[in-house]
Amino acid sequence: GAGVSQSPRYKVAKRGQDVALRCDPISGHVSLFWYQQALGQGPEFLTYFQNEAQLDKSGLPSDRFFAERPEGSVSTLKIQRTQQEDSAVYLCASVQPWSSGGQETQYFGPGTRLLVL
């Protein structure tokens, strides 16, 4: 596809339920990021992949959050035993292979809006 896609676009979960959020990056993009955007706030970094390797997961708020990208393309963010504070928009972004110098542009998907009741 032309851009980053995410599914589902909306998810309502009961507290304690497990959820899985999917991200399809732009074809050929090596790097993939997950961000969490709380209502009225800017996105906050969660985790970063280069191909299938998860190089940084320092932003994951707890061990209930888990992300994977087993074949270096599609990624899944899983949240176990969801809590109300997990309610947010989860954004995925992908980047072309790094070139020399400068910060490459991250292309964002539309996000998944998660509401935990």
43 is a contact residue toward other proteins (CB under 8 A): yes
Taking phi first (over 0 means left), then psi (-120 to 50 degrees means alpha), and beta for anything else, what does residue 2 get? alpha
Between CA 112 and CA 117 the distance in angstroms is 16
44 is a contact residue toward other proteins (CB under 8 A): yes
Structure-token pair, residue 84: 């109300």
40 is a contact residue toward other proteins (CB under 8 A): yes
101 is a contact residue toward other proteins (CB under 8 A): yes
Pair type for strands 107-108 and 88-95: antiparallel
Among 29, 109, 114, 116, binds other proteins (CB under 8 A): 109
72 is a contact residue toward other proteins (CB under 8 A): no
Between 27 and 103, CB nearer to other proteins: 103
Among 26, 87, 107, 113, binds other proteins (CB under 8 A): 107
Among 91, 94, 114, 116, binds other proteins (CB under 8 A): 91
User: Under the rule (CB under 8 A), what is the footprint of other proteins?
Assistant: 31, 33, 35, 40-45, 48, 55-56, 59, 91, 93, 95, 101-103, 105-111
